[in-house]
Amino acid sequence: MKKIMVMFLLVFCIFSFLYPSQLEERIDSISRLEMQSVVEFLAHDLVEGRAPGTRGGNITEIYLKSVFKLLDLKPETNGKYLQPFKLKGFTINNLNVQIDDHKLKYLEDIVGTFTQGAESFSLEGDAVFIGFGIVADLWNWDDYKNTDVKDKIVISRINDPGMFLSDIFEGKTLTYFGRWTYHIEEVARRGAAGIIMIHTDESAGYGWKVVQNSWSGEEVFIESDLSSNLKFRAWVKESRLRQIFKDRDLDLDQLYKMSLKRTFKPVTLGFKVKIDGKNSFRELSNNNVIAVIPGKTSKRVVFSAHIDHFGVDENKQGDNIFNGAIDNGTAVASMVMVAKILKEFQNDLYYTVTFLACNSEEAGLLGSKFYVQNTDRGTIVANINFESTPVWEKSRSIMGIGARFSSFEDILKFLAQKEGIKYRQFSMSNQGFFYRSDQFSFARYDIPSVWISAGEDDESGERKYTQFWKTRYHTVEDEYDPRWKLEGMKQTIKFALLLIDHLNRNKMVPQWRDKLTFPMESVRYKH
């Protein structure tokens, strides 16, 4: 057995050392102009921040379709590059929430979204504290213990117990069970009428201002995601909730303490939550843009990068265009370069390769989710996603966000070693980055996926990428700069190509490892 392994490794190494030279030569020849062109256009003020369903958003879709045609890529289905999907947007105009007999101030104490097509609404339910509201077999954790929360208004902590106890869950590294999206999904499955999440700076990872900003505008959903009973989702400021509980002789800290134990059970609080307000809603449509290069098999690898960003904030003074140059212009540009080069090497392709320029990522990974839900998932062996690709100097490392969940990590380590650079984890991984871009839509449907990127440690010792996330991410400052060296981008493109080349040469199907820190939506046909 050992002998066979050694033989196999030997053949495998010779194979992968001999052949990529032509491909690597082509990668080395990538020019700055090639990389600049796409990001320069996408981040232009005239494209107006590429919000889905707006003029700038539509221009972006048409532009990608043209780029795919120029590269001579084929449409994936029915001869069409555009995959339309409908969204529903809801904006609260006025919100009154009364917990017990305390009236909360909209924006100051509470923000929320009502997700039904009604101009005015009212809702009432018994209040139940559900702790973290987590059910996770991996850690033998079940906050519900079969408690029926149907039609109730639940009050939930966010994050996961690992934030407070280092020996459970993944300690301070956020699991998907700690993301606010998970808390909402779980109570929706259980038929609650509403959820109020308790905000603290520590557990959310950001201040009340951020919640206020991101939850006071329009919230957008895929229609089928609204088929549950859950009509209302909101955040409350912890200090305000604490006062209300105090008046009822309820000790929030005591409840918190209980919620850190496996023995926790939901606590019926003995009062009601009453909600009413005014709502506006609309339908909007947008498109994913999809192209394909056929390989020798119909089994395929999907590359993805989202094309949308936040558009224009009309209420903002001065520069009000969210150009999203890095998020996600540079990533789309990277994917286009991968498409361009793979097309040149089409004869070497074992796998068919799909390029998914997906939409409405910023609204909750909606375009990639719609794509995965409506495609033949059984044919997809892996997803390689680009997100906010670094644009500065060369890095000493490469990273694969989420690679640790699958055999992608071994492959990337192997490739990094071969290229003489380090494979490193992202230093900000405690913020759950794997769950926050389109690779996660694939993972939830049982398709091993990875977000590929040059690492943070620039050769000069600077950490420009880390700085970007801390200062310019999701601000109007995320703008195109012609001085960018684009070496980090070239590295990212290079590793994406080496990765697909490796999968192709070895007809490899990436496999999950045992420990997955997120629940699957659905399990696919096994390869």
Judged by the rule CB under 5 A, the positions of this chain that interact with Zn ion are: 327-328
Smallest separation, CB 179 to Zn ion (Å): 16
Q: Cβ closer to Zn ion: 388 or 395?
A: 388
**Of 307, 284, 300, 524, nearest in space to 437 by CA:** 307
2: three-class secondary structure by DSSP: helix
Question: How far, in whole angstroms, is CA 418 from its chain's centroid?
Answer: 30
Question: CB neighbours of 322 closer than 8 A, spacing ≥ 6?
Answer: 49, 309, 310, 311, 312, 313, 474, 475, 476, 478
What does the alpha-carbon distance between residue 5 and residue 409 come to, in Å, rounded to a whole number?
Answer: 20
**Of 409, 375, 368, nearest in space to 511 by CA:** 409
Q: Cβ closer to Zn ion: 327 or 446?
A: 327
Tell me 175's DSSP state: P
Smallest separation, CB 462 to Zn ion (Å): 22
**Of 360, 355, 361, nearest in space to 337 by CA:** 355
Which H helix or E strand runs over 411?
helix 408-419
Question: CB neighbours of 80 closer than 8 A, spacing ≥ 6?
Answer: none
Q: Cβ closer to Zn ion: 54 or 328?
A: 328
Residue with tokens 């990094």: 416
Q: Cβ closer to Zn ion: 325 or 421?
A: 325
Q: Cβ closer to Zn ion: 232 or 451?
A: 451
Q: Cβ closer to Zn ion: 406 or 437?
A: 437
Q: Cβ closer to Zn ion: 177 or 468?
A: 468
Smallest separation, CB 487 to Zn ion (Å): 21
Q: What is the amino acid identity at position 32? A: R
Tell me 375's DSSP state: S
Which H helix or E strand runs over 517?
none
**Of 198, 171, 187, nearest in space to 231 by CA:** 187
Greatest Cα-to-Cα distance within the chain, rounded to the nearest angstrom: 75
Residue 136 burial (C-beta neighbours within 10 Å; 0-12, 13-18, 19+): buried
Say how many residues make up the chain: 527
Q: Cβ closer to Zn ion: 328 or 352?
A: 328
Smallest separation, CB 338 to Zn ion (Å): 17
Smallest separation, CB 324 to Zn ion (Å): 7
Smallest separation, CB 306 to Zn ion (Å): 6
Interhelix angle 331-344/32-42, nearest 10 degrees: 130
Which H helix or E strand runs over 286?
strand 267-293
Q: Cβ closer to Zn ion: 160 or 327?
A: 327
What does the alpha-carbon distance between residue 334 and residue 454 come to, in Å, rounded to a whole number?
Answer: 12
Smallest separation, CB 387 to Zn ion (Å): 5
Smallest separation, CB 328 to Zn ion (Å): 4
What does the alpha-carbon distance between residue 252 and residue 419 come to, in Å, rounded to a whole number?
Answer: 53
Q: Cβ closer to Zn ion: 354 or 360?
A: 360
Smallest separation, CB 483 to Zn ion (Å): 22
Which H helix or E strand runs over 255?
helix 252-259
Q: Where are the alpha helices (DSSP H) in 313-382?
A: 331-344, 366-373
Q: Residue 67 in contact with residue 250, Cβ under 8 Å? A: no
Smallest separation, CB 11 to Zn ion (Å): 40
Q: What is the amino acid identity at position 80? A: K
Q: Cβ closer to Zn ion: 328 or 397?
A: 328
Smallest separation, CB 312 to Zn ion (Å): 18
